[in-house]
């Protein structure tokens, strides 16, 4: 069994209840987005700022490497989510409320929702077993979409 299949199956073990799946379908990509938003908001050294690079950009590079190592289609899908997230963050910058405040609020609400989903499911979140599952969650989310499109990951 390929590592991606093992990880997605393992993650899926605590995500079988339809309500929990629905919550995760919303919360997982939202958490990815707002995590990038929070990282985007952190001050960067002058040498990074000079190139208009944020900590979100720095984080995305090894994260995408991880996803592409697991699966080309998952890596491509996560690249798309990252690009859309960066675009969304740029849109948030046009608002009067700072990006970090918006992202922190959404972050907290989405994590609460996920814990509610796991309470309904009756199983602990996978990342409590292995922190790697914090990165597997978005891959699992994309796995559902790729299956519907008949794309093997």
pLDDT at residue 74, rounded to an integer: 93
Confidence of residue 127 (pLDDT cuts 50, 70, 90): confident
With a pLDDT cut of 70, the percent of the chain lying above it is 99
The number of distinct structural domains making up the chain is 1
> What HEC string does 75-111 produce?
HHHHHHHHHHHHHHHHHHCCCCCCHHHHHHHHHHHHH
The pLDDT mean for the chain works out to 91
Mean pLDDT of 10-18: 87
**Rounded to the nearest 5 degrees, what angle is found at the Cα of 79, between the Cα atoms of 73 and 80?**
90
For residue 136, tell me if it sits in a domain.
Answer: yes
For residue 153, tell me if it sits in a domain.
Answer: no
For residue 103, tell me if it sits in a domain.
Answer: yes
For residue 126, tell me if it sits in a domain.
Answer: yes
Confidence of residue 1 (pLDDT cuts 50, 70, 90): low
User: Which range of residues forms the domain containing residue 138?
Assistant: 3-148
Provide CB contacts within 8 A for 123, sequence distance 6+: 13, 14
């Amino acid at each position: 069994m390929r590592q991606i299949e093992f990880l997605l199956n393992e993650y899926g073990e605590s995500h079988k209840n339809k309500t929990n799946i629905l919550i995760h379908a919303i919360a997982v990509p939202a958490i990815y987005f707002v995590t990038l938003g929070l990282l985007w908001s952190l001050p960067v050294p002058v040498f990074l700022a000079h190139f208009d690079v944020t900590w979100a950009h720095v984080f995305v590079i090894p994260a995408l490497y991880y996803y592409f190592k697991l699966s080309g289609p998952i890596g491509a899908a996560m690249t798309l989510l990252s690009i859309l997230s960066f675009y969304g963050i740029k849109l948030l910058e046009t608002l009067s409320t700072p990006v970090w405040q918006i992202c922190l609020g959404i972050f907290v609400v989405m994590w609460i929702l996920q814990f509610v989903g796991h309470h309904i499911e009756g199983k602990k979140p996978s990342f409590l077993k292995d922190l790697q599952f914090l990165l597997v969650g978005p891959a699992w989310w994309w796995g559902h979409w790729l299956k519907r499109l008949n794309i093997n990951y």
